[in-house]
Every structure is written in structure tokens, then in C-alpha cells.
């Protein structure tokens, strides 16, 4: 509950995955009910991460 009205009109799911090489992603999906309408709104967000690439350069 959000504390204001006692009701929440959405739920958020988060999935995080990282592999041994350091690559990862975070996927977030929100399912929201529209007020006064018989409909659901789906919101998606995907963030991909990769490890920093380090290179030894000799001059």
C-alpha cells in the first residue's frame, strides 16, 4: 500500500541477471490499472551493462 489511499494501482516486477564475464541486465515491467477504465497499461524498461574495457597501450 502507498499509505495515502490504502490502494495501489500498479505492481512492478524486476529481473536482474549477471553472467560470469560481468555482462548483466535489469528488466523492469510495471502493470498499471487505468482509473475509471477497464484497461491495463504495461510499461517496460531494459538496461544492459557490460564490464569496463581496459587496454594496455604502449607508446
What pTM, to 2 d.p., does this model score? 0.65
Domain ranges for the chain, please list them.
1-59
Strand order in the sheet with 24-33: 10-18, 24-33, 40-49
Look at the block and give the residue holding cell 604502449.
Answer: 58
C-alpha dihedral (41, 33, 35, 9), degrees to nearest 10? -130
- Position 29 scores a pLDDT of 97
pLDDT confidence of residue 1: 41
Question: What nine digits make up the cell of 55?
Answer: 587496454
- The neighbour count for residue 33, using CB atoms within 10 Å, is 15
Query: In the chain, which stretches have pLDDT less than 70?
Result: 1-6, 58-59
Amino acid at each position: 500500500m502507498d499509505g495515502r489511499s490504502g490502494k495501489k494501482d500498479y505492481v512492478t516486477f524486476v529481473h536482474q541477471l549477471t553472467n560470469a564475464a560481468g555482462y548483466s541486465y535489469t528488466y523492469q515491467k510495471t502493470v498499471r490499472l487505468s482509473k475509471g477504465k477497464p484497461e491495463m497499461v504495461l510499461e517496460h524498461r531494459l538496461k544492459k551493462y557490460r564490464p569496463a574495457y581496459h587496454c594496455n597501450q604502449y607508446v
